């Protein structure tokens, strides 16, 4: 049986507005964000560039981490991103 992957991710707009989410299929979810399939924060603010993500095999861990990151102040989220992606480059293929 294959292990399932769950992703906690952060998207950024060109002006660095941040969006934190969780999904079981990162590529599909990114495509949905970019196509504006669901109206909401991400589509309103143009957050479509993947700048950070984490992977886990446990959905409960992924959901807890998403909630944790959403509770952080912006400066702490920026520090997390900049530690691994200082130039805010697009990380998706």
- For the chain, the first-to-last Cα distance in angstroms comes to 26
Domains and CATH numbers, the chain: 6-84 (3.40.1440.10)
| Per-residue pLDDT reduced to its tens digit, 16-60 | 899 999 999 999 999 988 887 776 777 777 788 999 999 999 999
Task: Give the other-Cβ count within 10 Å of 44's Cβ.
Answer: 12
pLDDT computed for residue 39 by the predictor: 67
Q: CA distances (Å), 56 to each of 5, 36, 42, 62, 66, in order?
A: 6, 26, 23, 6, 12
**Contact between 24 and 65 (Cβ < 8 Å):** no
**Contact between 34 and 48 (Cβ < 8 Å):** yes
pLDDT computed for residue 12 by the predictor: 93
């Amino acid at each position: 049986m294959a292990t399932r992957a769950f992703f906690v991710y952060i998207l950024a707009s060109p002006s660095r507005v941040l969006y934190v989410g969780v999904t079981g299929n990162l590529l599909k979810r990114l495509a949905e964000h970019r196509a504006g399939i669901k109206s909401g924060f991400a589509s309103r603010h143009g957050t479509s560039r993947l700048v950070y993500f984490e992977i886990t095999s446990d959905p409960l861990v992924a959901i807890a981490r998403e909630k944790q990151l959403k509770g952080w102040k912006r400066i702490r989220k920026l520090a997390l991103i900049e530690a691994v992606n200082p130039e805010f480059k697009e990380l998706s293929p």
